[in-house]
Amino acid sequence: MFSSLSVYTLLALSVCAANAFPQYQSLAGLTRDELDAVVPTLQYSPPQPPPGPLADDSTKLVNDAAHPHMPLKPGDIRGPCPALNTLASHGYLPRNGIVTPTQIMNAVQEGFNLENAFARFLVFSTFLVNGNPITNLMSIGGATPLTGPNPPKPATVGGLNSHNNCEGDTSMTRDDFFFGNNHDFDEARFQNFVNFSNKFGAGKYNLTVAAELRHFLHQDSLMRNPQFSLVSPRLFTAYGESVFPINIFIDGRQKDGQLDLTVARGFFQLMQFPKDFHRHDGAISNEGFDTVYNKYPIQPGGNTKGVNTYKADPTSATLFQPCLRYTDFVNKNIKALYPNPTGLLRKSINTNLQFLFEATAGDNCTQVFPYGKDN
């Protein structure tokens, strides 16, 4: 819990907003109980309301002079998401890979024109399971002390590499968690991307290729990964990720839906915008996911007794049940990590849950309050 003085002494003097205790006041002379009460408040950085949609969402140059690509410095963190990696390597996100939800919202809207409500759900669902609600910081890769002292277990604050939410099996360019490395670019998997694009897309990645590749990735994990799982919420991100390269990695002035493979490698491996890259013309999210799904529909589920033992999981939300996705995510995934939060932790989680719920406005879901309502 918040009791390790050695962890705090350095961090407490340097971080975030000091709300309940003036930062200039010396901590010397306080009892251990007083320190335990005060130090979390020194770390506390309250959640910020997410930005609204862009006022002007037309296409524009985003690989500009103000956002040059820079090579990684020692200690810079990157993870499984090629878009966030690229935004960090161009300075739309902090280059060290430690970010706040608002910074991600601004970066994915400004740099890629990701649609506001869609971005919110992705950002706050991911932050609630992988970020630190006290410091309001999250790693876009692995766990790090840079996000501050962790809340009590079973919370993990593991960053985006955590195998529990967005991250999951059947990625296009990252291996399944079972095989050891679920976050670094994997050349062999990228070669499948290339081969399928050559076979079904005449050398480009498009919706036809996306459907065939997704089917292949399911079969591949089914036959090789004894722990293969594809249930909500991973189900949603998997189909979203199949179409993101078409919707978002293609230059906004190019309207044919055909992604060049050199451009693809630039994002997936090199974390780099192409020269002169313009973002998508108009806000966009996972359009086309249903085309990918409908070619080879599957039920949510996974291997239950080793490879090739796929069993449907009727309790999982399907792609067409966004409210069940929301409700289960809050009541199961978040509750499992934070069974009984109190004080500032509860307050922050409740605020982030509110931001998450607001992202479902278009779906008419009923809000759930696992920790009661704030006054």
Distance CA 255, CA 247 (A): 10
- Cα 103 from Cα 162, distance rounded (Å): 20
Nearer to ligand HEM by C-beta: 119 or 263?
A: 119
Which CB atom, from 173 or from 225, has the smaller least distance to ligand HEM?
173
The nearer residue to ligand HEM, 212 or 241, going by C-beta atoms, is 241
Stated as kind and residue range, the H or E segment containing 259 is strand 259-260
SS3 276: coil
Q: Tokens for 347, please give them.
A: 């307050």
C-beta of 186 vs 328, nearer to ligand HEM: 186
Q: Cβ of residue 113: shortest distance to ligand HEM, in angstroms?
A: 8
Rounded to the nearest whole angstrom, what is the least distance from the CB of residue 91 to ligand HEM in the complex?
16
Q: Output the DSSP codes for 304-323.
A: SSSTT-EEE-TTS--TT-HH
Phi, psi for residue 137 in degrees, rounded to 5: -120, 150
Closest approach, Cβ 193 to ligand HEM, in A, equals: 8
- Bridge partners of 137, per DSSP, are 132
Minimum separation from the CB atom of position 347 to ligand HEM (A): 22
Question: Is the dihedral angle over the CA atoms 57, 61, 67, 70 positive or is it negative?
Answer: positive
User: Smaller CB distance to ligand HEM: residue 148 or 233?
Assistant: 233
* Residue nearer to ligand HEM on the CB measure, 160 or 356: 160
- Interatomic CA distance for residues 141 and 183, integer angstroms: 8
How many Cβ atoms are within 10 Å of 60's Cβ, its own excluded? 13
Closer to ligand HEM at the Cβ: 126 or 272?
Answer: 126
Least distance to ligand HEM, CB of residue 158, Å = 11
Binding footprint of ligand HEM on the chain (CB under 6 A)? 80-84, 104, 108, 112, 114, 119, 122-123, 126, 160, 166-168, 171-174, 237, 241, 244-245, 248
Instruction: Scan for tokens 């080879």, then name that residue.
Output: 296
DSSP string, 19-33: -SS-TTS--TT--HH
Give the nearest distance from C-beta 356 to ligand HEM in angstroms.
Answer: 12
- One-letter identity of residue 217: L
Q: How far is the CB of 24 from ligand HEM (least distance, A)?
A: 35
Which CB, 41 or 269, lies closer to ligand HEM? 269
Nearest alpha-carbon partner for 302 in 290, 294, 312: 312
193 phi/psi in degrees, rounded to 5? -60, -45
Closest CB 6 distance from ligand HEM, rounded Å? 31
